[in-house]
Each structure stands twice: as structure tokens, then as C-alpha cells.
Homo-oligomer: A and B are copies of this chain.
Amino acid sequence: MRRSHRIAIITKILSEHPHQLFSLSDFAQMFGAAKSTLSEDLAVIKEAFAEKELGKVETLPGAAGGVRYVPKLSRTELFTRIDRLCQKLSDPGRILPGGFLYLSDLTSDPVVIREIGEIFAAYFAGLDPQYIVTVETSGIPLALATAHYLNVPMVVVRRISQVSEGSVVTVNYVAGSSQRIQTMSLARRALPVGSRVLLVDDFMRAGGTLRGLAELMAEFESQVVGTGVLIEMEQPSAKLVEDYVSFISLEQIDSTNQVVKAEPAPWIKP
């Protein structure tokens, strides 16, 4: 097989499996080629990705070593993606009765979700989470995409306990916006005690749900290493959680004048 053929195939495998370590022997066997030849192939891929800022190809030395693709984004690309989403959010046609904003088309669009999942993965990779945790329903696609790009499992907390999941741990929490007591639960076997978890959700008003999630994680003796929110409502300004990162600030939903104001979070602006 020619070098250019091998480069196409290795690139496909690496980019479809972010953060997964492949040994040179795996590739050597696949192509019937020497490891030194594959090292040269990988150097080409590494250079190409670096030149176009398409993420990093990392080579880890030693017996347990190998090569893996790590998603990274330039600041420009981060801003471009978030800004594009803000423009979609700012369409007054999204305003619903009651001052709600219609988001379901975006939170279930695979293209949008992968772009944002890659952002989340690149941003939170350094915290080395073992699980991406979210609560049903609308946060699931984003959590799954983040989990894909970090190569770790996703865990979905349920709002209604399922008989088909065995013994569960349940917590009650106060939804910040409605002040109602709500319930969330997670199967005992869904998350090993003592895990490092990243909490992910698509939308945050007062932060009641994320606080409930954090309390549930405490029941699993698990450490919340980070909390990522795609869209944060500016009001109420007092939030029930600390140490979270949001990417979009929703400043206003004005149904009288038909104005929505969504902006990239200040730290993202170039």
C-alpha cells in the first residue's frame, strides 16, 4: 500500500476516535508495514493537522505508548462557532408564549451538537473527567458529543425513576425558576463510587438543576471536576451553583418588542 493510502486510512481512524490511544503495532499489522514507516506517516498527519489548526496528533513514547488524536480549537474557531449559534438564537421567531425560547431544533441538530461537543471536550479535557453526566432530556445530545470527543462514557440522570434500572439513588431539589420541589435519580450501577465527573447541560436559568446534580454526585462520593453550560440566562444573576463555565449569555427575551439578545460569554470574545 502506498504512503498516501495509509495516510488516508490512519487519518480516518484517528479522527473518528478522539482521545483513543492506538499502538504503532496495531497500524503496523493492519498495513503490513514497518513501525518506522508508520512513524513517518504519522509525522505527516501531525504536520498537516497543525498547519490547519485541526487538533493535535500526540505521540506517546514507551511500551504503553502510541498515537492519539486530541481535538483542539483555535480561539478564532471557538468564537466563530459560538457567535454563529448566537445569531441563530437571536431570531425573534424563537420566542414562545410565556417568554420561553424555542431551542429543540438546535439541541438536537447533529451538526451544531458536534461543533459544541468538540468545544466542550477541548475546553474541559485538562480536568480529566472519567464520566460526562447530564440530566434528561435536552442536554443528552451535547453530553454525548462531549463524551465522544473525550472518549469517556456518558451517564444520564433521570427525572422519573425507571423500574428497569435496578436500585437507584434519588435526590430532591428546588428548581430555581419555579421554586417547585423536583426529583432526580440515578441507578447505583450507572456510576462507580469515587468517580471524577464533568456536569454538562444545555441551558441554565438559576442553576437549580445543576445544583441538584452536584448533590446527587455527592451521594455517589464522586468529584465534580467541572460544570459546563452552553446557554446561561443572565437573569436571575444570583445562581445556585459556583464554578461553572458558560459559553453563551442570554441577556434578554423580550416578547413585547420581539427581541432576543444572545452573546458569546465575555471570556470568549477575541
A residues bordering B, Cβ < 8 Å?
1-9, 11-12, 15-16, 44-45, 47-49, 51-52, 54, 96-98, 100-105, 108-111, 113-114, 136-137, 140-141, 144, 147-148, 151, 153-156, 158, 163-166, 187, 189-190
Contact = CB atoms under 8 A, between A and B. Distances in A.
8 contacts: A5-B47, A5-B51, A11-B11, A11-B15, A12-B12, A16-B16, A110-B151, A111-B151
Question: Interface centre among A48, A49, A154, by most B CB within 10 Å?
Answer: A48
A268 B214 CA distance: 43
B108 A9 contact: no
Contacts of A110: 144, 147-148, 151, 153-154
Nearest to A203: B164
A110 B2 CA distance: 32
Given A4-B4, A8-B7, A54-B9, A104 B190 contact: yes
Contacts of A100: 163-166
Contacts of A49: 8-9, 12
Contact of A190 (B4, B5, B105, B155): B105
A151 B77 CA distance: 22
A12 B153 contact: no
Contacts of A98: 163-164
B102 A5 contact: no
A117 to B, nearest CB: 10
Nearest to A140: B140
Contacts of A144: 108, 110, 113, 140-141, 144
B4 A44 contact: yes
Given A5-B47, A98-B164, 10 more contacts: A8-B8, A8-B44, A8-B49, A11-B11, A100-B165, A100-B166, A105-B189, A110-B148, A136-B136, A141-B154
A154 B15 contact: no
A153 B106 CA distance: 9
Nearest to A106: B153
A186 B48 CA distance: 45
Given A113-B144, A137-B156, A144-B144, A4 B7 contact: yes
A187 B102 CA distance: 10
